[in-house]
Amino acid sequence: EVQLVESGGGLVQPGRSLRLSCEASGFSFNDYTMHWVRQAPGKGLEWVSGISWNSGSIGYADSVKGRFIISRDNAKNSLYLHINSLKVEDTAFYYCAKDIPLDSWGQGTLVTVSS
Amino acid sequence: EIVLTQSPATLSLSPGERATLSCRASRSVNDYLAWYQQKPGQAPRLLIYDASNRATGIPARFSGSGSGTDFTLTISNLEPEDFAVYYCQQRSDWFKFTFGPGTKVDIK
């Protein structure tokens, strides 16, 4: 059974940094493109970033380019999202998801940016 | 960036009725269009991929159609568990995988 478990969210002040993690199990992690998708409370879904199986191809939504860094460690079956210079508008649930289309999702981790 | 628009924003129906949801792309996405269902407090779930293919375990009452810029998700006989928000997403623009704003299907 595919499992994706996000962690690293919490309450953070504007301007600070945060690293989110996603631990994967139940599938061959190093065979799949992985993604981060976020959802502000009460709002719709926004694809944030994706990374190919070997980290050779990476993409970001225009809204986060330059502040977000996606990475992965295939030896640890883990996906990461480093968020710099956090803004209030980054407040959201952050989901990791497998492949494209996004066929498996974690339960999300909530990032709240507030002073 | 490919912009997806969904209509209607809200669809009020009764169990047993047919739901027809629309997704329109600002330019052709070929058939690289997926549909997701999200219930309150839950992560989204993949329903349909590549416009018309049901994902694993998805009931046959869910069907997708369309290509190019116009797509439809049909739920043929609404069950109580189908009342949720539905999003479309395109994967034509690689690593610019935009979502539509969603359609909420609620109980009339």
Q: What is the pLDDT of residues B21-67, one digit of tens each?
A: 999 999 999 999 999 999 999 999 999 999 999 999 999 999 999 99
**Number of CB atoms found within 10 A of residue B13's CB:** 17
DSSP secondary structure of B72-88 = EEEESS--GGG-SEEEE
> CB of A2 within 8 Å of any CB in chain B?
no
Nearest CA distance, B60 vs chain A (angstrom): 18
Task: Please tell me the predicted confidence (pLDDT) of residue B54.
Answer: 98
Could you give the 3-state DSSP secondary structure of residue B39?
coil
DSSP secondary structure of A22-67 = EEEESS-GGGS-EEEEEE-TTS-EEEEEEE-TTSS-EEE-TTTTTT
pLDDT band at B94 (very low <50, low <70, confident <90, very high): confident
Give phi and psi for A82, each to the nearest 5: -95, 125
- Pairing state of beta strands A109-113 and A92-98? antiparallel
Contact state of A45 with B96 under an 8 Å Cβ cutoff = no
pLDDT band at B95 (very low <50, low <70, confident <90, very high): confident
Q: Is residue B93 scored above 90 in pLDDT?
A: no
The predicted-structure confidence for A67-99, as pLDDT tens digits, reads as follows 999 999 999 999 999 999 999 999 999 999 999
What percentage of chain B exceeds 70 in pLDDT?
Answer: 100
C-alpha B72, offset from chain centre: 7
Contacts of B4 in chain A (CB under 8 A): none
Mutation for testing the B interface, residue in A64, A93, A105 having most B CBs under 10 Å: A105
> CB of A61 within 8 Å of any CB in chain B?
yes
- Mean pLDDT calculated for residue range A24-46: 97
> CB of A35 within 8 Å of any CB in chain B?
yes
* Structure-token pair, residue B80: 């109580």
Contacts of B49 in chain A (CB under 8 A): 101, 103
Could you give the 3-state DSSP secondary structure of residue A90?
helix
Mutation for testing the A interface, residue in B2, B95, B98, B103 having most A CBs under 10 Å: B95
Contact state of A45 with B89 under an 8 Å Cβ cutoff = yes
